[in-house]
Amino acid sequence: MVNPLLQVENIHTYYGNIHALHGISLYVNPGEIVTLIGSNGAGKSTTIRTISGIMHPRQGTILFDGQPIHTIEAHDLVSRGISQSPEGRRIFPRLTVRDNLEMGAFKRNDKKEILSDIEMVYGLFPRLKERHNQLGGTLSGGEQQMLAIGRALMARPRLLLLDEPSMGLAPVLVEGIFEIIKKINQQGTTILLVEQNALMALEVAQRGYVLQSGSVVLSDNAEALLHNEMIRKVYLGEN
């Protein structure tokens, strides 16, 4: 039996007095793409922020490679192998594309390998190579999303957290981003994907969790979720 790379057990997370996550439990095995789907306010991004160390649960545990990480700060989790491409991209608008990528490697000091990884990112996203000296804030939305994912990859994560990578993108760009997500996974990176586009998410993932009001209400393999009547009505827009 494979031991999960990430195991989240009964976490409760709060914004002040607001109880945002109510006992979320999930796991991600090495090499998987696992997706979290749900409507706005379901708790998807809060779950990602809690796993990444931006927030800490008041109750419950998070294990990464068998070790508890739920009290560790986000910048230290990067060194352990977890990086995040956040909702809204959050690139550095006044830094160039190249500088943004180098910021993704801020916990590393292997300069030759960093240069190699920048070329790896340019291989995944040729558009970024064309714009390597351009300021991040002048890029299109799709290019900024590419940059956010590329910056996260510069930390050489074992677990990549992707929060709403298709948000605000034209449909043709969404398809391209999801092709890249599949390619990143095929190259060996485990991915936890938060996505409102449930159809695209379930088509690339092996398994999925459905969140409502801060709780997991359904989990299954992606194929089964795609054919689930409730999922098709609520999240895929079918009558």
pLDDT in tens, 164-180: 998 888 888 888 899 99
pLDDT, mean of residues 2-6: 93
DSSP per-residue string spanning the chain = -PPPSEEEEEEEEEETTEEEEEEEEEEE-TT-EEEEE--TTSSHHHHHHHHTTSS--SEEEEEETTEE-TTS-HHHHHHHTEEEE-TT----TTSBHHHHHHHHTTT---HHHHHHHHHHHHHH-HHHHHTTTSBGGGS-HHHHHHHHHHHHHTT--SEEEEE-TTTT--HHHHHHHHHHHHHHHHTT-EEEEE-S-HHHHHHH-SEEEEEETTEEEEEEEHHHHHT-HHHHHHTS---
Residue 239: pLDDT band with limits 50, 70, 90: low
Query: Does residue 11 belong to any structural domain of this protein?
Result: yes
pLDDT in tens, 49-70: 999 999 999 999 999 999 999 9
Q: Which residues span the domain enclosing 178?
A: 6-90+158-234
| CATH at residue 229 | 3.40.50.300
pLDDT at 93 over 60: yes
Query: Does residue 130 belong to any structural domain of this protein?
Result: no
pLDDT in tens, 94-120: 999 999 999 999 888 898 999 999 999
**Domains identified in the chain, total number:** 1
What pLDDT is stored for residue 86 in this prediction? Answer: 85
pLDDT, mean of residues 131-138: 94
Query: Does residue 172 belong to any structural domain of this protein?
Result: yes
Query: Does residue 184 belong to any structural domain of this protein?
Result: yes
Query: Does residue 26 belong to any structural domain of this protein?
Result: yes
